């Protein structure tokens, strides 16, 4: 799995061999997502797409995949209740745009097999990210769906992880609710009450995989997948500025093309390759009114709108606008990701 890295030292020190991973995997795992009755009646599909869009964002943030597969981006998705046209579109985005490997899963056993298979493939996981529902003690890759039981990761499945599948400095992130909490607190953890972090699923995964795990002791909140309140309030203005910039640039390109034609004709007529047009100067390229953030927000929205029209879901090829954050409950524990180191 690794090759020794040899280095010469001074006569006072022995030669040290440090394992260096030759084949690294960065893996995102996306859970299935159900739609509530009211969401279905109202046609509100944004919540159903939150895990997928967050997963695409994460794949985009990984180091680029290398041509020889020494570094791989990998996108794994539990397929229950996702329609085939949507899955095909996701596959096209992660493979074509981000150079990632795409695999579909239909049981928690398949996920464990994929992870542990890194050993025989002589690869190591550098980063592993979970986007799904969760409860205290479980990561729910099929919450409230028919296959919930066979999609669930709990202590028995966590104990099947093999540390040899992970790089020595690997990280695992769980963006499922309360992966880092060891007691069944729903609303509040009282002052002086032990959250039992050491009994959490996050700590168990860290111990088994011998890898640092980052997880929320609180519920997780995906509400900024499509931007925060400022992003959403400013979207219309951002789109307007982007459109204005495009119109201005289109006019400039047309003016520049016409100017170049007149200049070429004038130089040919005057038989002077350096002649300039009398009383006329080249058009000036317009400045931008849209900021880089405006352009990004407009690009996200355009991707979602286009896919909503073509496949019926707001798939964002740019990925989520902002990352998952800690929710409001239970209070009394940190409102952030918490690190769980192997014991």
Nearest to 104 by CA among 76, 130, 132, 131: 76
Radius of gyration of the chain (CA): 26
What is the Cα–Cα distance from 81 to 91, expressed in whole angstroms?
16
CA distance from start to end of the chain:
24
DSSP code string of 45-67: -TGGGHHHHHHHHHHHHSPPPPT
Are residues 282 and 162 both part of a single domain?
no
Q: Is residue 16 part of a domain?
A: no
| In a shared domain, residues 80 and 156 | yes
Question: Closest by alpha carbon to 148, among 140, 159, 137?
Answer: 140
Query: Same structural domain for residues 28 and 177?
Result: yes
The pLDDT assigned to 18 comes to 47
* Same domain assignment for residues 185 and 291: no
Question: Can you tell me the distance from the alpha carbon of 129 to that of 54, in angstroms, rounded to the nearest whole number?
Answer: 10
pLDDT of residue 205: 98
What is the residue whose two structure tokens read 């100067």?
281
Domain annotation covers residue 231: no
Q: What is the pLDDT of residue 81?
A: 96
Residue 200 and residue 104 share a domain: yes
Joined tokens for residue 310? 């073509």
* Residues 136 and 245 reside in one and the same domain: no
- Note whether residue 12 is domain-resident: no
Give residue 19's pLDDT: 52
Tell me how long the chain is. Answer: 343
Whole-number pLDDT of residue 20:
53
Which structural domain range is residue 129 located in? 22-226+322-340
Are 83 and 206 members of one domain?
A: yes
- Dist CA 136 CA 114 (whole Å): 24
Domain assignment of residue 167, yes or no: yes
In whole angstroms, give the CA distance from residue 215 to residue 137. 12
Residue 15 lies in a domain: no
Alpha-helical runs (H) found in the chain: 37-42, 50-61, 84-92, 108-120, 148-151, 155-158, 201-209, 229-270, 292-311
Other beta carbons within 10 Å of 285: 11
Do residue 214 and residue 287 come from a single domain?
A: no
Residues 27 and 164 in one domain: yes
Structure confidence at residue 146 (pLDDT): 96
Which residue in the block uniquely carries the two structure tokens 């009211």? 38
Residue 234 lies in a domain: no
Residue 83 lies in a domain: yes
Tell me the pLDDT of the chain (343 aa) as tens digits: 444 433 343 344 444 444 554 799 999 999 999 888 788 777 789 999 999 999 999 999 999 999 999 999 999 999 999 999 999 999 999 999 999 999 999 999 999 999 999 999 999 999 999 999 999 999 999 999 999 999 999 999 999 999 999 999 999 999 999 999 999 999 999 999 999 999 999 999 999 999 999 999 999 999 999 999 999 999 999 999 999 999 999 999 999 999 999 999 999 999 999 999 999 999 999 999 999 999 999 999 999 999 999 999 999 999 999 999 999 999 999 999 999 999 9
198 and 297 in a common domain: no
User: How far lies 139's CA from each of 72, 163, 226, 289, in Å?
Assistant: 24, 19, 23, 45
pLDDT at 42: 78
The CA distance from 255 to 158, in Å, is 64
| Residue 14 located in a structural domain | no
pLDDT value for 3: 45
Q: What total number of domains does the chain contain?
A: 2
User: Scanning the structure block, which residue is given the tokens 């070429």?
Assistant: 264
Most distant CA atoms of the chain, gap in Å: 91
pLDDT digits (tens, 9 = 90+) for 148-189: 999 999 999 999 999 999 999 999 999 999 999 999 999 999
191 and 272: one domain? no
329 and 187: one domain?
Answer: yes
């Amino acid at each position: 799995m690794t090759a020794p890295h040899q280095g010469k030292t001074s006569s006072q020190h022995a030669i040290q061999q440090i394992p260096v991973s030759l084949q690294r995997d960065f893996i995102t795992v996306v859970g299935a997502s159900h739609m509530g009755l009211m969401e279905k009646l109202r046609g509100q599909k944004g919540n159903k797409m939150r895990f997928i869009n967050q997963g695409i964002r994460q794949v985009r943030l990984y180091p680029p995949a290398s041509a020889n597969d020494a570094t791989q981006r990998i996108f794994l998705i539990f397929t229950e209740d996702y329609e085939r046209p949507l899955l095909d579109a996701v596959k096209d985005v992660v493979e074509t745009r981000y150079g990632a490997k795409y695999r579909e899963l239909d049981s928690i056993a398949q996920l464990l097999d994929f992870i542990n298979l890194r050993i025989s493939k002589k690869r190591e996981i550098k980063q592993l990210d979970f986007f799904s529902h969760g409860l205290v003690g479980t990561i729910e890759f099929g919450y409230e769906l028919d296959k919930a039981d066979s999609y669930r990761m709990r202590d028995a499945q966590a104990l099947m992880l093999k540390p040899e599948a992970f790089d020595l400095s690997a990280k695992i992130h769980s963006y499922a609710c309360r992966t880092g909490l060891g007691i069944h607190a729903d609303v509040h953890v009282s002052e002086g009450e032990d959250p039992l972090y050491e009994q959490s699923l996050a700590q168990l995964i860290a111990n088994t995989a011998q890898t640092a795990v980052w997880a929320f002791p609180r519920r997780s909140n995906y509400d900024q997948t499509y931007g925060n309140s400022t992003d959403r309030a400013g979207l219309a203005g951002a789109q307007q500025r982007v459109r204005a910039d495009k119109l201005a640039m289109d006019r400039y390109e047309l003016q520049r093309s016409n100017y170049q034609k007149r200049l070429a004709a004038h130089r040919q007529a005057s038989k002077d390759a350096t002649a300039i047009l009398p009383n006329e100067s080249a058009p000036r390229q317009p400045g931008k009114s849209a900021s880089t953030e405006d352009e990004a927000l407009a690009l996200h929205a355009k991707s979602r709108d286009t896919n909503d029209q073509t496949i019926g879901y707001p798939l964002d090829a740019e990925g989520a606008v902002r990352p998952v954050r800690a929710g409001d409950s239970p209070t009394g524990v940190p409102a952030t990701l918490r690190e769980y180191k192997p014991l």
